[in-house]
Copies of this chain bind each other. A is one copy, B any other.
């Protein structure tokens, strides 16, 4: 199988990387396959060789890659940080970097795809849903290490991911990191409130 050949895998990876970078800047609808090919430097034939289903399949791979990348970041941040505030600081610094280095042109590629293609393309919508789910589980799992109960941790983690996604959109619209910074402060408040509730309940 050619896809298991190192060179084939490298080409495939370049296509997915290029698709992800372009979605992040221009959205799913705004990204044409010719632009992906040009950016990746891959030969035209390689696109349908690696992604016989075309743009949808490539989009799903890009969404999955975005999910893995931010998921790894959550994993590293929660493993390294000494407090929930520390985790928030690490993740928000990363997102701030994405906004600022792109002059607010780049945001979360998963939200872009969810809004752009989510209402007309079921496989893409499901890919976005799975990525959100993985992030929510990662945050929820971290909360459980503080003894926060599952039934509280799940909706709270969901809100935290919603808050971060929304703050990226407002930051881009305002061309300012102020919404992201407001979100960071709120994330810390929410985590602290959950810890307080949990301590209070344990003491009752």
**A interface residues with partner B (beta carbon < 8 Å):** 25-27, 29-30, 104-107, 111-112, 114-116, 118-120, 125, 128-129, 132-133, 154-156, 158-159, 161-167, 169-170, 172-175, 178-179, 181-183, 185-186, 189-190, 193
Contact = CB atoms under 8 A, between A and B. Distances in A.
B182 A158 contact: yes
A166 B30 CA distance: 21
Nearest to A25: B119
Contacts of A166: 111, 161-167, 169
B173 A158 contact: no
Given A166-B165, A166-B166, A173-B132, A156 B114 contact: no
Contacts of A173: 114, 118, 125, 128-129, 132
B185 A155 contact: yes
Contacts of A118: 172-173
Given A29-B30, A105-B119, A167 B172 contact: no
Residue from A30, A111, A114, A165 with most neighbouring chain B CB atoms (10 Å): A165
Nearest to A105: B119
Given A112-B115, A132-B173, A182 B165 contact: no
Q: Which of A25, A104, A169, A186 has the most CB of B within 10 A?
A: A169
A182 B153 CA distance: 11
A132 B193 contact: no
B132 A159 contact: no
Contact of A26 (B119, B125, B161): B119
A133 B174 CA distance: 9
Contacts of A125: 172-173, 175
A124 to B, nearest CB: 10
Contacts of A189: 190, 193
Contacts of A156: 182, 186
Contacts of A178: 155, 158
A161 B164 CA distance: 11
